Amino acid sequence: MNDNTTWQGMQFGLMSVSDVTRNPLTGETPSEAERIRDIVTIAKHAEDAGLDVFAIGEHHNPPFFSSSPTTTLAYIAAQTERLLVSTSTTLITTNDPVRIAEEYAMLQHLSGGRMDLMMGRGNTGPVYPWFGKDIRQGLPLAIENYQLLHRLWREDVVDFEGKFRTALNGFTSTPRPLDDVAPFVWHGSIRTPEIAEQAAYYGDGFFANNIFWPKEHYQRLIGLYRQRYAHYGHGAPEQAIVGLGGQAFMAKNSQDAVDQFRPFFNAAPVYGNGPSMEDFTEMTPLTVGSPQQVIDRYAAMRDYYGDYQRQLFLVDHAGLPLKMVLEQIDFLGQDVVPVLRRELQKNRPENVPDAPTHAALVKAKYGDKAPRQPRPNANRGDNVTGGSPYQDTESSFGSAANK
């Protein structure tokens, strides 16, 4: 195992939707090549600034560039030492679970365990027919596909027959997960209680995007997830693993932040022609102002949602030029995150788990013993014999996946 992570308590980082948006001040739209280069610079700068996580979404249409997140994240992991790379989101509905199992297990190996991923259905309806799927089956696809993925990472040889893909007989996904420990999975949702239920059922993390809706909306989803997490026997409600999204734009002077961000807010497709910036910041967690205003806003999040494990900020969107984005990362790293780490650690109950890491998952499974390192040989099982003398029976969720 090669896990250099040292976080305790919470993780803080960035999430990107990988948009390619016109800069309203210059009228110029960056090329895909520019944005791809910039996203690597942004991720590396996040590590230099002391942030913990960089996550990128998955899209298969303009104006987004991130159609292959594992390629991007492997490249970033190779150029960083401590940063945990993740997704926001991996499309569980339109990707084949076998490919997800293979690609993210490979990323797990290449990053030395410095990765996890967030499952979601995405927000682009036409992606379903592009990949031969029916959007009307979105929820059943998410449930069945993740059931299979969960097993592929925990069972050496899998027999599976479902509704949405050809059957698997004696199938072994390769490479096997690093240290024979599956990557940690978050289930992301902005509106769907069934996804909160799914996260709770498997004992996985639940990520509430927390960007476009009032806090009461996410309180209901997170409350349901915590309740059902306890129902399925994974721990007390406060021990459930919760992540939140957020948005901020900062300047030393709050009025300067408002003046600088307003043209980007007004012109960005995701905001444009909707509520005013003032109304939007009042109704949602978007905070435009000084670093202290961001600290005050996000230190209060646990008052609404309870103690949680991961906070990600969206800062590289809406046409903001690279220089501005890097300045935002500096504000986060120098002024905001150090204070939030201290504030959100205060009075944190001892039974609230730290943010998930590969090292912690290995420790939970093996204790002080050396982790198992699977090797592809005939005695272990393969797609010809289907034999599996070492099939994992220790996973607390392996049997649940078969229900």
pLDDT band at 374 (very low <50, low <70, confident <90, very high): confident
Residue 192 has pLDDT above 60, yes or no: yes
Mean pLDDT of the chain: 90
Closest CA to 250 of 188, 334, 177, 181: 334
- What's the confidence (pLDDT) of residue 244? 97
Q: Does pLDDT of 185 surpass 90? A: yes
Q: What mean pLDDT do residues 46-71 have?
A: 94
Q: Is 13 helix (H, G, I), strand (E, B) or coil?
A: strand
What the block records as the tokens of 142 is 């998410």
Instruction: Write out pLDDT tens, residues 116-171.
Output: 999 988 767 787 788 788 888 888 999 999 999 999 999 999 999 999 999 999 99
Whole-structure pTM value: 0.90
Q: Which of 210, 189, 94, 111 is nearest to 145 (CA)?
A: 94
Q: Is pLDDT above 50 for 6?
A: no
Has residue 38 got a pLDDT over 90? yes
Token match 């960083």: residue? 80
Which one is the CATH code of 11-402: 3.90.1170.50, 1.10.760.10, 3.20.20.30, 3.10.20.30? 3.20.20.30
Axis crossing angle, helix 291-299 with helix 337-345, rounded to the nearest 10: 30
Q: How many angstroms separate the CA atoms of 351 and 349, rounded?
A: 5
pLDDT category of residue 242 using cuts at 50, 70 and 90: very high
Residue 14 has pLDDT above 80, yes or no: yes
Beta bridge partners of 85: 54, 115
Place of tokens 């989101």: 89
Burial 99-124 (b: 16+ CB within 10 A, else e): ebbbbbbebbbbbbbbbbbbbbbbeb
What is the maximal distance between C-alpha atoms in the chain? 68
Which residue spans within 22-91 are E strands per DSSP? 53-56, 84-87, 90-91
**Backbone phi, then psi, for 238, in 5-degree steps?**
-75, -10
pLDDT bin (cut points 50, 70, 90) of residue 8 is: low
Rounded Cα distance, 42 and 39, in Å: 5
What is the pLDDT at residue 133?
A: 80
Distance CA 213, CA 232 (A): 28
CA atoms within 13 A on the CB side of 77: 28
Amino acid identity, position 126: P
d(CA 385, CA 368): 33
% of residues, the chain, pLDDT over 70: 90
Half-sphere exposure of 307 (CA within 13 A, CB side): 21
Model pLDDT for residues 265-302, shown as the tens digit of each residue: 999 887 867 889 999 999 999 999 999 999 999 999 99
Q: What is the pLDDT of residue 190?
A: 79
The whole-angstrom separation of Cα 84 and Cα 379 is: 34
Q: Is the pLDDT of residue 375 over 90?
A: no
Tens-place pLDDT, residues 63-94: 999 999 999 999 999 999 999 999 999 989 88
Least confident window among 96-100, 215-219, 391-395? 391-395
Rounded to an integer, what distance in angstroms lies between the CA atom of residue 96 and that of residue 168?
12
Q: Looking up tokens 């979105």, which residue turns up?
A: 138
Mean pLDDT of 208-214: 82
Distance CA 237, CA 229 (A): 6
C-alpha span between 317 and 334 (Å, rounded): 21
Whether 89 contacts 56, CB under 8 Å:
no
Reported as a pLDDT band with limits 50, 70 and 90, residue 340 is very high
